[in-house]
């Protein structure tokens, strides 16, 4: 086993960064996903790990944050970050995706990978206790991988993230894929290379459950390694966490007495009114024109440029979107730069209809998109759908509604018939994978290749476009085996081009994300994925 700090790819990345050929954020992201600690990664390029000066945290206080309280379900089935943010009170993760792009250890002390990224050794933290008194051990880790790898469970997107551990016939964990070395050491034996697997373990459905959990209501028996416990949870109304007085948390943190998640829906004006009325301390997110509105009332903003986007996708499982010319024709009618401006007030970067962001290390620059409404209508008419009514469905959240309204308006300007359907969240989320033509918010991942595997690989749980392409799948397998992002970029260029040429989606922009607070709490800066690291939040000194 090659120790990751001496991994050849990491050494190459460090040289390129010192020579100015790679930016710091990109290096930190790449190096930590291969197992280098954050402090070692910064040191490799001659820097010290940033440590913002703060007063020593004191226990106490109640944080009130607006956030939708959705009906909880098995973590591996989570498809929205809100589930994870509440359950982070008592459920921890093996790895952590940080604001600076790094992936660092959570319940993992460290890990290492061989040069081919086919074997990973996971070193678990010692001394971690579950809140029922059990030790956290390799038995728990094996239990979670067994659950994650089960592709027979409908909606289990974790099976995509750990596909290299699956038996291709049973769609379950392959015998010998997860090997216990001792109580605190586990080896992953992958069937094929996968440089994204550790990053996948930091994704929000990868919450680590106790070995006794086999599904069902998480609130019935909330066993976890975290510092908090759920006090109450009411769907659509409110969820409350309180510090667990009978559990010694395994790391510094868990400072607050109480955390209240108040469901104010998706109407940003209602959230602004709650802030002005001193009913909340923190916005889960601040969207569109309301960034300026919260600034105006004196709340403190934070922001980060992300690979967060809105995927306006065509479901190729049925007509008319099984016709490539229809999909491409609609794409040609839409100018993404205009959608960026009209949809989210220009707070981001234009997208390129392939779902790989310039912040991703393997992003490939392609020629500018063609915008040609007349040609687009001609293609749709020639495909026999000149009189077809295209129904575009979106959530009622303002920025998503505005974005889809802008797309529909441009389609109409091109001479196409468009019906807009706007649904409340409770309705939209029930069928988000099934709509013929709809918009879904996609959060960022550290690697572009991760998004390709999660959203566009044939047959995977979150492939809402029903896109299936053997060439793309073959390129994806190759890309997952290449640790060097510069070499992987050559593969990614082909994959990006396929998504564009096949007209898989209108991906109008990359969003900068924001939140606001009243200034009473530390460590509440917005995360690229709206992730709330609850254990780190404390009252300002």
Q: Are residues 16 and 141 in the same domain?
A: yes
* DSSP sequence for 212-255: T--SS-TTTS---SSSEEEEEEETTTEEEEEE-TT---SSS---
Strand 282-283 and strand 437-442: the pairing is unpaired
Q: How confident is the model at residue 101 (pLDDT cuts 50, 70, 90)?
A: confident
Q: Are residues 194 and 317 in the same domain?
A: no
Q: Are residues 495 and 366 in the same domain?
A: yes
CATH number at residue 187: 3.90.76.10
Q: Are residues 441 and 325 in the same domain?
A: yes
Q: How many structural domains compose the chain? A: 2
Q: Which residue has the tokens 């690229």?
A: 528
128 domain residue, yes or no: yes
For residues 335 and 244, give the distance between their C-alpha atoms in angstroms, rounded to a whole number. 52
Q: How confident is the model at residue 529 (pLDDT cuts 50, 70, 90)?
A: confident
Share of the chain above pLDDT 90, in %: 78
355 domain residue, yes or no: yes
- Condensed to tens digits (0 to 9), the pLDDT of residues 253-302 reads 999 999 999 999 988 999 999 999 999 999 999 988 899 999 999 999 99
CATH number at residue 461: 3.10.105.10
The backbone torsions φ and ψ at residue 296, rounded to the nearest 5 degrees and listed phi first, read -70, -25
Task: Decide if 68 contacts 266 (C-beta within 8 A).
Answer: yes
Rounded to the nearest integer, the mean pLDDT of the chain is 90
Token code pair at residue 318: 């049925």
- Condensed to tens digits (0 to 9), the pLDDT of residues 196-223 reads 999 999 999 999 999 999 999 999 999 9
224 domain residue, yes or no: no
The whole domain housing 36 covers 4-53+91-206
Can you give the pLDDT at residue 359? 85
Can you give the pLDDT at residue 186? 98
For residues 23 and 106, give the distance between their C-alpha atoms in angstroms, rounded to a whole number. 25
375 domain residue, yes or no: yes
- Spatial CB neighbours of 523, under 8 Å, sequence gap ≥ 6: 533, 536, 537, 538
* Global model pTM greater than 0.85: no
Last residue of one domain, picked from the residues 206, 234, 265: 206
138 domain residue, yes or no: yes
Q: Are residues 326 and 182 in the same domain?
A: no
528 domain residue, yes or no: no
Q: Are residues 32 and 167 in the same domain?
A: yes
For residues 453 and 456, give the distance between their C-alpha atoms in angstroms, rounded to a whole number. 6
120 domain residue, yes or no: yes
Task: State whether residue 135 is helix, strand or coil.
Answer: strand
352 domain residue, yes or no: yes
Can you give the pLDDT at residue 30? 55
Share of the chain above pLDDT 70, in %: 90
Q: Are residues 199 and 319 in the same domain?
A: no
Last residue of one domain, picked from the residues 149, 176, 206: 206
């Amino acid at each position: 086993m090659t120790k990751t700090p001496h991994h050849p790819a990491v050494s190459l990345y460090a040289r390129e960064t010192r020579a100015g050929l790679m930016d710091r954020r990109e290096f930190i992201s790449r190096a930590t996903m291969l197992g280098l600690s954050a402090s070692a990664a910064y040191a490799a390029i001659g820097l010290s790990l940033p440590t913002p000066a703060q007063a020593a945290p004191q226990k106490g206080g109640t944080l009130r944050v607006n956030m939708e309280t959705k009906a909880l379900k098995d973590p591996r089935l989570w498809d929205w970050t809100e589930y994870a943010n509440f359950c982070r009170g008592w459920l921890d993760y093996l790895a952590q995706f940080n604001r600076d792009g790094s992936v660092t250890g959570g319940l993992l002390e460290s890990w290492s990978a061989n040069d081919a990224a086919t074997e990973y050794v996971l070193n678990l933290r010692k001394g971690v206790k579950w809140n029922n008194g059990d030790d956290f051990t390799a038995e728990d880790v094996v239990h979670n991988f067994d659950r994650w790898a089960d592709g027979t469970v409908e909606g289990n997107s974790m099976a995509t993230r750990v596909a290299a551990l699956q038996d291709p016939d049973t769609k379950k964990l392959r015998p010998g894929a997860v090997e216990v070395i001792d109580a605190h050491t586990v080896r992953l034996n992958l069937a094929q290379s996968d440089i994204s697997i550790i990053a996948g373990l930091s994704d929000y459905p990868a919450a680590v459950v106790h070995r006794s959990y086999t599904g069902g209501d998480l609130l019935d028996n909330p066993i976890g390694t975290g510092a908090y416990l759920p006090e109450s949870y009411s769907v659509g109304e409110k969820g409350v966490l309180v510090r667990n007085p009978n559990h010694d948390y395994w790391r510094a943190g868990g400072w607050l007495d109480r955390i209240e998640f108040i469901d104010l829906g998706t109407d940003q004006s209602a959230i602004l009114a709650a802030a002005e009325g001193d009913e909340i301390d923190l916005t889960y997110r601040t969207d569109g024109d309301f960034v300026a509105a919260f600034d105006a009332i004196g709340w403190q903003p934070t922001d980060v440029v992300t690979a967060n986007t809105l995927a306006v996708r065509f479901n190729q499982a049925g007509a008319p979107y099984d016709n490539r010319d229809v999909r491409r024709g609609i794409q040609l009618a839409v100018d993404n730069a205009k959608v960026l401006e009209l949809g989210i007030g220009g707070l981001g970067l234009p997208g390129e209809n392939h779902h790989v962001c310039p912040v991703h290390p393997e992003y490939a620059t392609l020629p500018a998109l063609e915008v040609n409404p007349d040609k687009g209508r001609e293609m749709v008419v020639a495909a026999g759908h000149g009189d077809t009514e295209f129904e575009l469905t979106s959530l009622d959240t303002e920025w998503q509604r505005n974005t889809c309204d802008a797309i529909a308006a441009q389609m109409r300007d091109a001479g196409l018939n468009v019906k807009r359907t706007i649904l409340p969240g409770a309705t939209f989320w029930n069928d988000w994978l099934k709509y013929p033509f709809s918009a879904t918010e996609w959060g960022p991942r550290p690697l572009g290749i991760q998004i390709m595997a999660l959203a566009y690989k044939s047959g995977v749980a979150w492939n809402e476009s029903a896109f299936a392409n053997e060439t793309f799948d073959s390129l994806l397998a190759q890309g997952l085996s290449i640790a060097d992002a510069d070499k992987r970029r050559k593969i990614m260029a082909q994959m990006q081009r396929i998504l564009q040429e096949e007209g898989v989606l209108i991906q109008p922009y990359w969003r900068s994300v924001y939140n606001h607070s009243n200034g009473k709490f530390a460590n509440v800066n917005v995360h690229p994925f709206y992730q709330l690291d609850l254990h780190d939040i404390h009252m300002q000194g």
